[in-house]
Structure 1
Amino acid sequence: MYNFTSVPQSLLTNPGADFKYEYYFGVPLLSGISANMGSTGFSAYSLFANDGVDFNTKLRDVVFSTTRKDHLALNEQVEIFNGGFKLGDWFENKGYISFGLYHEFDFLSYMPKDLAILALDGNRDYVGKVFNLGDLNVKSEMVSVLHVGYHKNVSEKLILGARAKIYSSAFNATSTKNSGYIYTIPGTTTAYEQVIYSRLKLNTSGISKYTAEDYDGDVVSDIRKKALFGGDLGLGFDLGFTYYPQKNVQLTASIIDVGFIKHSKDVESYTYEGVYKYEGINPNFISGGTTANIYDEFKDAIPLDTLFTKYTTWRPTKLNASYQYSFGTSSDEDCVCTGQEKDYKNAVGAQFFAMSTPRTPITALTAYYRRSLFSTLQMKATYTLDNYSSKNIGLGLSANLGKFNMYFMADNLLEYKDVSKANSLSFQFGFNFIFKDNNEPN
């Protein structure tokens, strides 16, 4: 989608994109639908292949073949409405306004490797190993985003844009700042010495009332109401630009979702914090039947507490940058490009993408080729190196039927022959009505 300016939604990836139409509006609920999934280290096939191997064996293989840096990420986005229009006539050049509302769901979890090994095997065979409780790192959120953007050609070579956003969080669950350890070593006076140091915390908002025993409402209806700015609120912004050092050379960059959400409604935080030291044989913390009330001592040393304090989360910030070289002059009848690009049928380029996470950023480098096939059809083919795959080939199409625009895009096309083996998949499509500027050549 980035810099695919025949599609209005490209403004959401760069508010300073070279996009010049009189006005446009999206088909409500159908102007932009996207979903993507990415998993490093394993695929669905690794766990669920019908190959006669026991699931527990597959699970162990996945756990021991991955690292704490591997992660699972899910995202889906649905536009409720979207539109834009030019301010003043073409010669006044007062800029362009775009606006809209979209719903977004995010989930990100890193592999809790040490905790998974401890759950599968216990610590009997790992005397001397330190299990890192900080491996637990997970976040999930559903938000609605109301936005308004402005961009303007400040010169023949430079376009600047900005977008303001209001976030409304329907629910959030975040556990990303954990620390602690568990280790067992041979004791000096007893069989074993075991130490547990825990600083675990799960922050939640908008969830606790649905898990209460006396809740008798409609979960779907309640979340829908929260999504329409009945949840926790936050603010954010996007910035971007397009620059032409030469007529057929283009540089772009954008930073998206620099923002936060203040969680204060229906807030509950759960903590396991404390230190416990035990000397003797390995205690059974589950049954509570050990001598000397070891189980009660453990609960007193590392209690489960519930807090009701406000907290703040930051949105996953995305950074984009691209270089593009255009070539192959065309007649106006052949070209559906906009702005400085209207004299060229072909373009090749490279794009860099990075997104912040609680640990290391998710990054991608894409090479692409874009071509105007007909006066009403544009194509963009991509090859991407990212955290998930080294053979990610994607394709995007944008077609205009009169004022009606439709677009379809998908990544990792080679994996569609067996999606269960794919480490990442993404697609997006939508439908808009676009009205060209009467003073601009078609």
Structure 2
Amino acid sequence: MRKLAFIIFLSISVFSFGQNRPLLYNVDDLPQSLLQNPGARIDFTRHIGIPFFSQIHLSAGSTGVTAYDIFSNEDSNVNQRVRNVMNSITAGDFFSVNEQIEILSLGWKMGNRGYFSTGIYQEMDIFAYFPKDPALLAFEGNADNINQDFKFSDVSFTGEILTVYHAGFNYKVDRKLTVGGRFKLYSGIFNAESTNNKGVFRTLETPGGPNFYRHEVLGLDVTVNTSGYASLKNEEGMTVDEAVAELLSRSFFGQNVGLGVDLGFNYRVTDQFSINASIQDLGLMFHQKDIENYTYFGSFQTNGLEPLFPELDENEAAIPYWDVFEERLDRNLNEETTTNAYNTWRPLKFNASFEFGTGKSILPCDYLISKRPRFMNLFGMLISGVNRPKGPTYGVTAYWDRKVNDNLRFRLAYGVDEYTITKLGAMVSSRFENFNIYLAANDIIGYTNLAKANSASLQLGLQFIFKDL
């Protein structure tokens, strides 16, 4: 049973999602670039998104293991395949899930230099490190791992579903510098997190003791915090469909709130060369309602049961060894459920890039300057990352951005990140009058065989974009 549970955990994990979005970064004729850098240069004067369709983002990634590693037909022994994965994967490997749907998006020019944008989007973000030691203990047991420490610190994960209300302002300081900021109000739907856990379990050889082995749990301190879960759990007879409906009902006005900001800039060193950077989701969530936290703590040592076999008459009961053992265990290893409020940082994202243009063309499409030099080809490099409990995850992407004409644009990209070193991506954006549609896919090689892919990403959107001359 424990092997089946472990296999299910792995099979779910390998279809998890990541959060790097390099294909829309710095695309100056898409409003979505303002969500990644509120200080990006833009060349439109108004936009309004098709509700729920202006941005749909899904991406997938896992390091260290793929579905093929578990379910391959090359070896009929599934236990051996799982064992091979266990030997190759480390506690630093991770799985993540990210999904974002833009519910409302609109913006308009303010004065000669400003652009105001606002909207609402729903986001799910789940991130989990592979719990190597606890998984190894559950799968193999301790018989072949004598004198080895199994660390509970390997258990580390965060997960949240929330709605984000935002308003941002983009301002062109002068011909070279553009800056921007975005204020965010977070409305929490669901949260679960367990980080900074401590403690070890080990089995030691003690040939000179009362038994051959001694089992120890030392410094155990594991906490799982949740918000938005207790009310679902306590609702008697609630089905999965009813639970999903309840979560959806919280989509616009969740029970917990938070605040955050995005900041960014773009600086043209020359007409051809520019640099820019941004940070996203510098903010906190305050979990105060519908809280349920679980804490496991304590230390315990045992040499096992030492049964005695005294002669008993018919009125004497046998010694309740197991009850005595359970009482000792409960006295030393404690479980506690609380409803204490807690705070969590949002996963801080950072971006920095440079860009070089060639193929000068004069296009009357910048609302700040009626005519200015534009470049049909843009070559750039982007470094991006997300802060996580054990440190940031990051990636580097080089791209070629080609503006075929004022209505058609595409981008080809090659990236290296912690998922893969062969991440090929493509984006195309097309306009029909004022109607825009875009599609971006990353790690295209992985789409040829998703079972062997470590990551995949897809973005698409429909919206109206206006460029008043």
TM-score, length-scaled by structure 1: 0.93
Checking the alignment, whether the CA contact within 8 Å between 2:57 and 2:460 is kept in structure 1 is yes
Name the residue aligned to 1:223: 247
**Distance of 1:38 and 1:282 partners within structure 2:** 49
Name the residue aligned to 2:142: 123
**Distance of 1:170 and 1:240 partners within structure 2:** 28
How many angstroms does 1:54 deviate by? 3.1
SS of aligned partner of 2:54:
coil
- Which whole-Å deviations, capped at 9, do the CAs of 1:279-337 have from their partners, x for residues lacking one? 24699xxxxx854621231122112210110000110001100000101112438x899
Name the residue aligned to 1:34: 57
Name the residue aligned to 1:279: 303
Checking the alignment, whether the CA contact within 8 Å between 1:336 and 1:372 is kept in structure 2 is no
SS of aligned partner of 1:346:
strand
Q: 2:231 aligns with which of 205, 209, 218?
A: 209
Q: 2:171 aligns with which of 145, 152, 165?
A: 152
Q: 2:183 aligns with which of 147, 164, 187?
A: 164
| 2:449 equivalent to 1:418 | yes
- Which whole-Å deviations, capped at 9, do the CAs of 1:24-75 have from their partners, x for residues lacking one? 0100000000111110001111122344523332222212210000000110
SS of aligned partner of 1:343:
strand
Label 1:26 to 1:341 Cα distance change in 2 as closer, same or farther (>3 A): farther
| 2:428 equivalent to 1:391 | no
Amino acid at match of 2:186: Y
Checking the alignment, whether the CA contact within 8 Å between 1:336 and 1:342 is kept in structure 2 is no
SS of aligned partner of 2:103:
strand
Q: 2:162 aligns with which of 140, 143, 147?
A: 143
**Distance of 1:371 and 1:178 partners within structure 2:** 48
Moved more, 1-10 or 422-431: 1-10
Checking the alignment, whether the CA contact within 8 Å between 1:29 and 1:80 is kept in structure 2 is yes
Amino acid at match of 1:220: V
Identity between Structure 1 and Structure 2 (%): 36
Checking the alignment, whether the CA contact within 8 Å between 1:336 and 1:375 is kept in structure 2 is no
Name the residue aligned to 1:45: 68
Q: Which runs of 5+ in 1 are unaligned?
A: 284-288
| 2:386 equivalent to 1:365 | no
Q: 1:101 aligns with which of 120, 125, 139?
A: 120
Name the residue aligned to 2:406: 375
Amino acid at match of 1:253: A
TM-score, length-scaled by structure 2: 0.87
Label 1:338 to 1:319 Cα distance change in 2 as closer, same or farther (>3 A): farther
- Which whole-Å deviations, capped at 9, do the CAs of 1:62-102 have from their partners, x for residues lacking one? 122100000001100000010110113x3xx3x11000000
**Distance of 1:371 and 1:71 partners within structure 2:** 35
SS of aligned partner of 2:82:
helix
Q: Which runs of 5+ in 2 are unaligned?
A: 1-23, 308-319
| 2:288 equivalent to 1:267 | no
**Distance of 1:36 and 1:341 partners within structure 2:** 37
Name the residue aligned to 2:361: 330
**Distance of 1:375 and 1:389 partners within structure 2:** 34
**Distance of 1:423 and 1:270 partners within structure 2:** 33
- Which whole-Å deviations, capped at 9, do the CAs of 1:310-369 have from their partners, x for residues lacking one? 000110001100000101112438x89997985210110111001100002111011111
Q: CA RMSD in A?
A: 2.0
**Distance of 2:43 and 2:366 partners within structure 1:** 11
Amino acid at match of 1:193: R
SS of aligned partner of 2:32:
helix
**Distance of 1:117 and 1:199 partners within structure 2:** 19
Moved over 3 A (4+): 280-283, 289-292, 335-342
How many angstroms does 1:225 deviate by? 2.4
Name the residue aligned to 2:196: 177
- Which whole-Å deviations, capped at 9, do the CAs of 1:396-423 have from their partners, x for residues lacking one? 1111110001110011111211111100
**Distance of 2:187 and 2:238 partners within structure 1:** 24
Name the residue aligned to 1:13: 36
How many angstroms does 1:141 deviate by? 0.7
SS of aligned partner of 1:366:
strand
Checking the alignment, whether the CA contact within 8 Å between 1:148 and 1:164 is kept in structure 2 is yes
Amino acid at match of 2:264: G
How many angstroms does 1:248 deviate by? 0.8
Checking the alignment, whether the CA contact within 8 Å between 2:58 and 2:457 is kept in structure 1 is yes
Label 1:328 to 1:282 Cα distance change in 2 as closer, same or farther (>3 A): farther
Checking the alignment, whether the CA contact within 8 Å between 1:248 and 1:341 is kept in structure 2 is no
Q: 1:193 aligns with which of 204, 210, 214?
A: 214
- Which whole-Å deviations, capped at 9, do the CAs of 1:178-197 have from their partners, x for residues lacking one? 11001121224222222102
- Which whole-Å deviations, capped at 9, do the CAs of 1:180-234 have from their partners, x for residues lacking one? 0011212242222221021011000101121226254832232122221222100
1:230-269 residue pairs with structure 2 within 5 A? 230-269=254-293
Label 1:54 to 1:299 Cα distance change in 2 as closer, same or farther (>3 A): farther
Q: 1:54 aligns with which of 77, 82, 93?
A: 77
Checking the alignment, whether the CA contact within 8 Å between 1:336 and 1:376 is kept in structure 2 is no
Checking the alignment, whether the CA contact within 8 Å between 2:377 and 2:402 is kept in structure 1 is yes
SS of aligned partner of 1:325:
strand
1:273-352 residue pairs with structure 2 within 5 A? 273-280=297-304, 290-291=321-322, 293-332=324-363, 342-352=373-383
Name the residue aligned to 1:401: 432
**Distance of 2:458 and 2:153 partners within structure 1:** 33
- Which whole-Å deviations, capped at 9, do the CAs of 1:100-148 have from their partners, x for residues lacking one? 0000011111011110110011112211111111000111110110000
SS of aligned partner of 2:165:
strand
Name the residue aligned to 2:458: 427
